[in-house]
Amino acid sequence: MKAVLSKEVGGPDTLVIEDAPMPECGKDQVLIEVKACGVNFPDSLIIQDMYQFKPPRPFSPGGEIAGFVKEVGEGVSHVKEGDRVLASIGNGGMAEYAVAAQHAVMPIPDGMPFEEAAAFLMTYGTSYYALKDRGDPKPGEKLLVLGAAGGVGIAAVELGKAMGLEVIAACSTQEKVDFCLSKGADKGLVYARDLDRVGQKAFSNDIKEVSGGGVDIIYDGVGGNYAEPSLRAMNWEGRFLVIGFPAGIPKLPLNLTLLKSCDVRGVFWGAAVARDPKAHAQNVAELFKLYSEGKIRPHISNTYPLEKSADAIQELMDRKAQGKVVVVV
């Protein structure tokens, strides 16, 4: 089979496409003929050895896939050969075939295209777990989404609206803000690409102004110098959700949490799925219901063929994507 491989540490330019052995389907596993692979920020980290997990090389990036069940291993009963499924696999998805643990494989709704299925689980799963299980949202509260035009960001925008929150989308350009407004955000603001201390103070003031005094939930998928000014605009007993760090790992003055009696809450969706598969299955069922009701739908900004997978990852690293980028196999 053809596979995109990381054989050395580095950026997308170090990836190669080669013939690779067909993965074997073992007990409690499912072999999937991959039709589409969603591209996510961890794909850019894992090939640089900057992610939480470091698989042995050579390996293929790509943590979420959709396709047909090719084979099921012993102990698998909820899917069968020929079923249309999606799966979260960590890595290995940018290939013609991939193996997934049975608990990570789920049938997809009738009418859901493979491209949307491959762009669905990681972004909506992360954002739903973040907002529902870690954010304790209450209708009418104000949600600030940093990096709102990205994959998890735009999912948070849609889900926040579905939960009855007032959604404020913060992005690096007006074009991205306009995109978020078209997807349901109530308000938006543009932040500078690089924030010095003066810029941080201005950003915090902008958040307070657009929100009418402050926000109740912060969904931080950016990190860096954007975290502290956002926290300074937090309301009493607010919740700061730590999602990711494309702008760098921030350091927060903990006196701010005391002054606002607010929480900083980590969001590690992948680990949560492994620790509580039943809760994850319930969340996915609720997400599929929202999809069928038309309240959420993956926005795919670009698709690439398998041989252009490196370009797909680079687009994400350059922060050019609005929504999701998908590799079509």
The CATH number of the domain holding residue 187 is: 3.40.50.720
Contacts of 147 (CB under 8 A, 6+ apart): 153, 170, 171, 221, 222, 246
What is residue 266's predicted lDDT score, i.e. its pLDDT? 98
The reply to whether 139 and 256 lie within a common domain is yes
Q: What is the CA radius of gyration of the chain?
A: 20
**Assigned domain for 12 exists:** yes
Whether residues 63 and 42 share a domain: the answer is yes
Which segments of the chain have a pLDDT < 50? none
Q: Are residues 104 and 167 in the same domain?
A: no
Distance, CA of 141 to CA of 217 (rounded, Å): 8
Q: What is the DSSP string of 9-64?
A: SSSGGG-EEEE-PPPP--TTEEEEEEEEEEE-HHHHHHTTT-SS--PPSSB----E
Residue 277, domain member (yes or no): no
Report pLDDT for 274. Answer: 85
Question: Are residue 104 and residue 136 in the same domain, yes or no?
Answer: no
Q: Provide the token pair at 326.
A: 């998908």
Residue located via tokens 């990190």: 223
- Strand segments, DSSP code E, in the chain are 2-5, 16-19, 29-39, 64-72, 84-88, 97-101, 105-107, 142-146, 166-171, 187-190, 215-220, 234-242, 263-266, 300-305, 324-328
The 10s digit of each residue's pLDDT in 2-32 is 999 999 999 999 999 999 999 999 999 999 9
User: How many separate domains does the chain show?
Assistant: 2
One domain, residues 127 and 266? yes
CB 325 within 8 A of CB 44: no
Nearest to 59 by CA among 67, 69, 51: 51
Q: How confident is the model at residue 17, as a pLDDT? A: 97
Same domain, yes or no, for 40 and 61? yes
**Is 72 found in the same domain as 149?**
no
Which residue among 225, 252, 270 closes a domain?
270
Tokens of 195: 């924030």
What the block records as the tokens of 44 is 């850019």
| 237 within domain boundaries | yes
Please report the pLDDT score of residue 53 as a whole number: 84
Residue 290 lies inside a defined structural domain of this protein = no
Query: 189 and 86 in one domain?
Result: no
53 inside domain = yes
Residues 144 and 75 in one domain: no
User: 121-128 vs 277-292: helix axis angle to the nearest 10?
Assistant: 110
* Beta strand 29-39 pairing with 324-328: antiparallel
CB crowding 166-188: b at 16 or more within 10 Å, else e: bbbbbbbeeebbbbbbebbbbbb
Please report, for the domain that includes residue 38, its CATH number. 3.90.180.10
Nearest to 186 by CA among 219, 157, 221: 157
Q: How far apart are alpha carbons 48 and 51 in whole angstroms?
A: 8
39 belongs to a structural domain: yes
Do residues 309 and 256 share a domain? no
- Residue 101 counted as domain residue: yes
47 and 170 in a single domain? The answer is no
Residue 171: give the domain boundaries.
123-270
- Largest distance between two CA atoms of the chain: 60
Q: Give a yes or no: residue 286 inside a domain.
A: no
105 and 240 belong to one structural domain: no
